[in-house]
Each structure stands twice: as C-alpha cells, then as structure tokens.
C-alpha cells in the first residue's frame, strides 16, 4: 500500500488533504531513437494549471540490444519526474504494452498510453485528466493529428489520408487508440486479461483490448483538447504505404472479429471484403474513365487493399505488419 493511501474501507478524515492521483505514461519503443527523444522532450514539457498529478514515465524497449537506453538516460536532463527504462526481449507490441502495465499497475491510479512516433501537446495529460474527472470516465481517448516531418505530396494532403475522426469532448466512444488514451488502473485490474499477446506482430491488439473494455460496460469518452501529433516520416507518404496500412488494419480487424467465435463472423468478414473490393473496383473504373485525379484513384486502390485484407483475414492469414519499423 502506498504510504499516503487510506486504509482499505476507511474514508479519509474530514478536512484531510486529498492525495494527488498518480499517472504512469507507458511508452513502447523499437529502434526509433529520434522519435523517442522527441516524445520524451514533449513529456518533459507538460503543463498543469493548479495542482499537478504525480507523473511517472515507463519506457519499454522491444530491442534486445537496448537501443533506447541512451535516449532514456539523457532524458533525465529534461524530465523532472521518475523515468523507468526496461527491455522486453520477446518481440511483439502486446508483450511490450503488458510489460509496461505490469510495472505501472504496481503504483499508479491511471495509465496514459502513447507511442514513440507521437508528440503530445503541453497540456495533454492535464486535458486527459480533466475529461476523466468531468465525465467520470474509466477510459479517455484523444485525437492524433498528423504532423509531416517532410513536405508531403499534394494529393496526400488533399485526400486527408492521414486524418482520423474527431469528436466533441464528452462524446461516448467504443474504441480508443493506444497513441492517445488514459485508463483507470482499477479498470485494468478488473479485466480478465490485458493485451492479447498471441496477436504478436500483426497489430490490432488495441482494437481487441478496448473492445473488451467497452463490452465490460466501462465508460469511455472523447477529450478533443487532449491533442497529440502523429509524426509522419517520408516513408509513410507513398500510395504503397497507405495501401499496405489499409490491408494491415483490415486483416487485423478480421482476425480480431474471428476471435469472438461467432458463427456468422467469418461470413461477415468475407462479405466485408467482397464489398470493399466491389466498391474499390467501381470507384477505380470511374476514376480511370472520367480522368479523375490521383486522390480519387488513391481512394479506390486503398479500398481494394482493404478488401484484400478482410478476405485474407477471414481465411486465417495473419499479416505480420510489425516485423519491420519505418521512421527513426
């Protein structure tokens, strides 16, 4: 028990000072030292109006060679709160996330998730916590807005291919992305399991996890002011990469759906795949016939890639999306 915590079952004495909540920021990383440094500098610049929560950072390195160690050691020069660095030698994002949670759940009240290709704005944690208090939510999700590290092609920006949906603060949501989310530790403790480690390098572990959180009845809301930037390297600005991402996400979603073990799930995944292929094919044919520009052609090809991902996932193929890393 923490020394400042009340005895279980005994309310704090009247007039006693309230203990500050403790937020552990869990960061998985793999061979992205520049991105990790950018992230840690942003975490060191967090701002709070009034009394700040207690904050700690847990960095879990999935590189057995410890390529993130030097960055984390240097980060003590600009981060005032405790930073713990550990290595998880077993490859796989779910294993890395669980290793961070195992540490954080030992002392924290809340866990904030972000990634080594993100750059939180100065009031990120403050806005997540404000939304949690205001809406009494177990999970708070926030926006990830693209920030291009190099000038992107005009068609990419015009098509909004890196944009993600946003909502008004307080809007109930059924899903949160681990690039920007806050979850209460007691909710984690109530879960039968954390991130599904059998998903390994294929991705989709956050979709599967937060779907279970939502189905368990835990309140999940949106905090639009809790902004982080997703740092987009040049390697993610090609049509080939966008098609691969859609294939990967559809393949992973199909795999997650099949884990529900419902008789209609495989048929539904197949139908979704056929529907995407049909829509993409029609859209591409119209774009070619009418001479529409690269944005419309790109949308069509990405739809086709998504259809292929659904179909391959429905028949049991698992695409190992995270065997390699892009960006530094």
Structure confidence at residue 324 (pLDDT): 67
54-61 vs 22-29, strand pairing mode: parallel
Structure confidence at residue 286 (pLDDT): 94
Dmax (CA) of the chain: 75
Contact in structure between 186 and 107 (CB atoms under 8 Å): no
pLDDT tens for the chain, residues 1 to 328: 333 333 333 333 444 456 899 999 999 999 999 999 999 999 999 999 988 999 999 999 999 999 999 999 999 999 999 999 999 999 999 999 999 999 999 999 999 999 999 999 999 999 999 999 999 999 999 999 999 999 999 999 999 999 999 999 999 999 899 999 999 999 999 998 999 988 878 778 888 899 899 999 999 999 999 999 999 999 999 999 999 999 999 998 888 777 665 545 788 889 999 999 999 999 999 999 998 899 999 999 999 999 999 999 988 888 876 766 676 7
Residues 197 and 256 in one domain: no
Write the CA distances from 316 to 251, 254, 269, 311, integer angstroms: 9, 9, 11, 9
Strand partners, 231: 147
End-of-domain residue from the set 213, 234, 255: 234
Residues 168 and 289 in one domain: no
Contact in structure between 92 and 202 (CB atoms under 8 Å): no
Residue whose C-alpha is closest to residue 209's, from 191, 195, 192: 195
Residues 303 and 176 in one domain: no
Contact in structure between 177 and 207 (CB atoms under 8 Å): no
- What is the dihedral angle through the alpha carbons of 309, 312, 313, 314, rounded to the nearest 10 degrees? 120
Contact in structure between 79 and 56 (CB atoms under 8 Å): no
Residues 191 and 279 in one domain: no
Residue showing tokens 């984390």: 72
Q: ∠63-66-69 over CA atoms, to 5°?
A: 130
139-141 vs 54-61, strand pairing mode: unpaired
Phi/psi for 175 (5° steps) reads -150, 145
The CATH number linked to 190 is 3.90.550.10
End-of-domain residue from the set 184, 208, 234: 234
pTM above 0.85, yes or no: yes
Structure confidence at residue 120 (pLDDT): 98
Structure confidence at residue 264 (pLDDT): 58
Within a domain: residue 272? Answer: yes
Residues 109 and 41 in one domain: yes
Q: Which residues of 253-286 are buried (b: 16+ CB within 10 A; e: fewer)?
A: bbbbbbeeeeeebbebbbebbeebbebbeebbee
Contact in structure between 208 and 238 (CB atoms under 8 Å): no
The residue segments making up the domain with residue 300 are 239-323
Residues 273 and 125 in one domain: no
Write the CA distances from 327 to 29, 117, 118, 142, 178, integer angstroms: 12, 8, 12, 23, 18
Within a domain: residue 33? Answer: yes
Contact in structure between 96 and 60 (CB atoms under 8 Å): yes
């Amino acid at each position: 028990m923490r020394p400042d915590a009340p005895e279980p079952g005994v309310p704090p004495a009247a007039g006693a000072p309230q203990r500050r909540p403790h937020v552990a920021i869990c960061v998985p990383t793999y061979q992205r030292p520049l991105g990790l440094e950018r992230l840690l500098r942003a975490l060191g610049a967090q701002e709070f109006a009034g009394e700040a929560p207690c904050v700690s950072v847990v960095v879990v390195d999935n590189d057995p060679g410890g390529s993130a160690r030097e960055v984390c050691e240097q980060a003590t020069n600009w981060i005032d709160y405790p930073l713990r660095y550990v290595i998880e030698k077993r490859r796989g994002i779910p294993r890395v996330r669980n290793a961070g949670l195992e540490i954080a759940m030992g002392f924290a009240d809340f866990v904030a998730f972000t990634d080594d290709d993100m750059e939180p704005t100065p009031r990120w944690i403050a806005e997540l916590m404000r939304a949690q208090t205001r809406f009494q939510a177990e999970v708070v999700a926030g926006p990830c807005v693209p920030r291009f590290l190099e000038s992107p092609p005009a068609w990419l920006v015009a098509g909004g291919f890196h944009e993600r949906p946003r909502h008004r603060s307080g809007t109930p949501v059924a899903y949160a992305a681990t690039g920007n989310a806050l979850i209460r530790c007691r909710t984690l403790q109530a879960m039968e399991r954390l991130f599904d480690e059998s998903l390994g390098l294929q991705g989709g572990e956050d979709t599967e996890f937060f779907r279970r959180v939502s189905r368990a009845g835990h309140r999940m809301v949106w905090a639009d002011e809790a902004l982080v930037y997703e740092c987009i390297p040049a390697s993610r600005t090609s049509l080939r990469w966008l098609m691969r991402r859609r294939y990967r996400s559809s393949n992973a979603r199909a795999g997650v759906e099949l884990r529900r073990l419902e008789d209609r799930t495989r048929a539904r995944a197949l139908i979704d795949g056929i529907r995407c292929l049909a829509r993409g094919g029609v859209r591409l044919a119209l774009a070619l016939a009418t001479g529409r520009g690269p944005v419309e052609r790109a949308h069509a090809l990405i739809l086709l890639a998504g259809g292929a991902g659904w179909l391959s996932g429905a028949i049991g193929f698992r695409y190992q999306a995270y065997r390699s890393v892009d960006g530094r």
